[in-house]
Structure 1
């Protein structure tokens, strides 16, 4: 991938965690012993038996408890029972989709939205649920002349993984990446608008669609996102999922970036050393060349990369939901510590940034209580 991306004028990158995104190279990931090493395993599991910690699995928070405008705990549903958990403060980390849902169910959000469902308004904040942003990915898939991760017998891969956590199933599929400037008019000193994820496999529809034979994928991902969506409530029922309007591709710049990203992905696949390993292009397909055809392909195949942010954004303006200490405006004892607070989506994967936000929020809460 790194060698092929040099054809785009990109440099080889030793790491993407040193403050510079430009270039192409191997990805670093949260893996240990062939398994994903989650934030739970890294930070929470080692202290599960601490006397000051109670962990309830399978619980669903229904709403916040209040003392005026001070958060005083949560009401939750667990093992068929409704329980109240009083607290001196609450830190919400339910993610960019359920944190704003829980705020609105608890009376914190746009006045018109809450009034529509007859939810008493405790604190009117128009920014709750607004500003939804996400990274979009598009598959560009080529047949491979050498074996790929998914071209061998599934039973053999499963047996190898079960035996010693090695082989194809120990891979995170996206083993390498590159960042580039794709949209016409972007300057070299501006942040990249496209990130390529390279994987030695057929990766389409989040992996749910498969095809026989060996393949590799060079998927352009939109990381300079200009479209803005919104999350609203479907009902007052806390168990009902919220209504999402991601507003994908509503800003023309996003569509332009992805169309040019598809063209660049093709150039990477056609450059050495990948050019010597490739067969026919599967997606979009050799016949999809015109601007109109590529725009239609992007609209048809683009999919979330599971990086929603921005629905309880940090800031100083009227639309901000949390302040610089991640405290929810107009309330006391209530903080948000997840990707909801990003006012603009970062130009890279959100995993490490979300963990940093959580760590900072924990420090702010500890200092306040």
Structure 2
């Protein structure tokens, strides 16, 4: 067994972990070890935006999790791909850049999380970003994460946006501005036709720093404690058992599945569960693994009246060659932007105060996400509920860290969630009937005209609903009973241990989770450095008000937000 010592040990090089490692190592004061269970991100399909069709089922870069059989989805197990490489899920996701609604973060703050309101987190979104089309008070121009617009217009997406306008949903160029509501093209975490993962944004410029060590193929098995103080981790790498000691803190950034799994394996979790596996209890924390939430989506597919879809492109050898040449010569076309082009945020229920559904519009159709495209011209409207009220759990089933935990998101457990999903399907069909979109439709492939009543729509959702891959909440922060972390991400009941990833979210955000996870890594770095003592932390009050020295780490003041 080999042993090494660092100031900080970070477990998980995903969206948050890369941001945290990059920021913690920035000023050179502290030594940082970043452990990633998967391999380096060298595969070309990780970096070409449409490549997630290749990595979606590749066990080298994807954990390929499945949920437990879902009682409200006809006992189906739902596929949960999660990134297993540098960059984590930011290396295999659909690249969509969405922050969520201001109200999401204000709600977090109301649950006992001081410092997490919209006015507190927006500066970190701005600091993290270089936006290549948008400016003003909501966007950054000098951050490591590259965010680009979809510059090429597609007539199907234009018809979709026009259809939304007919329903009173305005066109927007910015889902991350003063108001989220609207329809338009998504912005992507990309630059010049290449993916910008968290690894590319934060790790690539940091790898030359002597105080940062990055280890791949290093699967952490448990956190080491002396009493209730975290002092390091054990991990397995290339068949060897290794130990990394942390003189200051251990920070878990392994995600909403593996951070709670690792806590439970290390003796922090529900005491009865731990004892049932023979794990000594370090801290009886009933909330570890609870509060699991995810966005459930249902995909409505339509046969297109014109041969203008990606299905058509892929059926023709010449058109496939044209796609490849367009990317190689100009870094444009489907290879540069992926599948999800158009977006929509709207209110499905009349009493919704803010948008409660989200659409991902793709000029392709297939039986499953990243599956083989249909032989006919087709397109897809994927609809998900933004703020589900159903709650699930995650629990270890073995002391072996390589055995996945039991994941039960408990989809559609509440009548409210069922009502929103049914209403969302009706919105999709209303879009299809508009003057703008209906000329492009030969017929509804799925669910089909035989599905009309609310009961039939709900049964369609039960039979075909799937994840949009946004699990969160299993190590939630707050002052509520069962909260695992305090507002500074410190694990309750122990010392020198934090969690910083999507698992900390007390409630799921209204949108995609990659940008919020990166924000969490950014904010965690500042809190950790502030708590480390005098020095750099003394600059934070000035930086947070925008009155300090301006530069790469300056945090901008917060603009007013209008619902």
State if a TM-score over 0.5 links the two structures: yes
Equivalent position of 1:259 in the other structure: 422
Does structure 1 conserve the Cα–Cα contact (< 8 Å) formed by 2:188 and 2:337? no
Paired with 2:310 and 2:336, the residues of 1 have a C-alpha distance of 10
Find out whether 1:91 has 2:251 as its counterpart: yes
> Which of 493, 504, 516 is the aligned partner of 1:330?
493
SS in 1 for 2:225: strand
> Which of 385, 388, 391 is the aligned partner of 1:228?
391
Find out whether 1:181 has 2:347 as its counterpart: yes
Q: Deviation string for 1:220-263 (max 9, x for gaps)?
A: 11112111010000100111111111101111111111111111
Paired with 1:38 and 1:150, the residues of 2 have a C-alpha distance of 27
Paired with 1:209 and 1:231, the residues of 2 have a C-alpha distance of 31
Find out whether 1:128 has 2:294 as its counterpart: no
Q: Give the Å deviation of 1:120.
A: 0.6
Q: Give the Å deviation of 1:160.
A: 4.5
Equivalent position of 2:360 in the other structure: 197
> Which of 504, 508, 528 is the aligned partner of 1:345?
508
Equivalent position of 1:150 in the other structure: 311
After TM superposition, the structure 1 stretch with the greater mean CA deviation from structure 2, 5-14 or 328-337, is 5-14
Q: Give the Å deviation of 1:159.
A: 5.4
Does structure 1 conserve the Cα–Cα contact (< 8 Å) formed by 2:366 and 2:374? no
Equivalent position of 2:241 in the other structure: 82
Q: Give the Å deviation of 1:150.
A: 2.7
SS in 1 for 2:407: strand
Would the alpha carbon gap of residues 137 and 209 (structure 1) be closer, same or farther in structure 2, given more than 3 Å must change? Answer: farther
Q: Deviation string for 1:291-318 (max 9, x for gaps)?
A: 2211110011111111000000010022
Equivalent position of 1:34 in the other structure: 193
Q: Deviation string for 1:249-282 (max 9, x for gaps)?
A: 1111111111111111011122132222221111
Paired with 2:311 and 2:330, the residues of 1 have a C-alpha distance of 19
Paired with 1:32 and 1:20, the residues of 2 have a C-alpha distance of 25
**Matches of residues 3-82 of structure 1 in structure 2 within 5 Å?**
3-82=162-241
Q: Deviation string for 1:327-369 (max 9, x for gaps)?
A: 1111111111100000000111111111111111111122223
Q: Give the Å deviation of 1:209.
A: 4.7
Find out whether 1:117 has 2:277 as its counterpart: yes
Paired with 1:19 and 1:122, the residues of 2 have a C-alpha distance of 45
Q: Deviation string for 1:102-136 (max 9, x for gaps)?
A: 00000001111111111111011111000000011
Paired with 1:310 and 1:220, the residues of 2 have a C-alpha distance of 21
Question: Normalized against structure 1, the TM-score is what?
Answer: 0.95
Equivalent position of 1:211 in the other structure: 374
Paired with 1:203 and 1:314, the residues of 2 have a C-alpha distance of 38
Does structure 2 conserve the Cα–Cα contact (< 8 Å) formed by 1:335 and 1:365? no
Does structure 2 conserve the Cα–Cα contact (< 8 Å) formed by 1:133 and 1:310? yes
Does structure 1 conserve the Cα–Cα contact (< 8 Å) formed by 2:305 and 2:377? yes
Q: Which runs of 5+ in 2 are unaligned?
A: 1-159, 533-563
Equivalent position of 2:539 in the other structure: none
Q: Give the Å deviation of 1:138.
A: 0.5
Q: Give the Å deviation of 1:322.
A: 0.7
Paired with 1:338 and 1:325, the residues of 2 have a C-alpha distance of 13
Would the alpha carbon gap of residues 229 and 209 (structure 1) be closer, same or farther in structure 2, given more than 3 Å must change? Answer: farther
Find out whether 1:169 has 2:335 as its counterpart: yes
Q: Give the Å deviation of 1:205.
A: 2.0
Does structure 2 conserve the Cα–Cα contact (< 8 Å) formed by 1:233 and 1:243? yes
Paired with 2:269 and 2:370, the residues of 1 have a C-alpha distance of 36
Does structure 1 conserve the Cα–Cα contact (< 8 Å) formed by 2:311 and 2:374? no
Question: Normalized against structure 2, the TM-score is what?
Answer: 0.63
Paired with 1:191 and 1:68, the residues of 2 have a C-alpha distance of 47
After TM superposition, the structure 1 stretch with the greater mean CA deviation from structure 2, 97-106 or 164-173, is 164-173
Does structure 2 conserve the Cα–Cα contact (< 8 Å) formed by 1:195 and 1:348? yes
Does structure 2 conserve the Cα–Cα contact (< 8 Å) formed by 1:175 and 1:197? yes
Does structure 2 conserve the Cα–Cα contact (< 8 Å) formed by 1:138 and 1:221? yes
Does structure 2 conserve the Cα–Cα contact (< 8 Å) formed by 1:231 and 1:311? yes
Q: Give the Å deviation of 1:158.
A: 4.4
Paired with 2:351 and 2:372, the residues of 1 have a C-alpha distance of 34
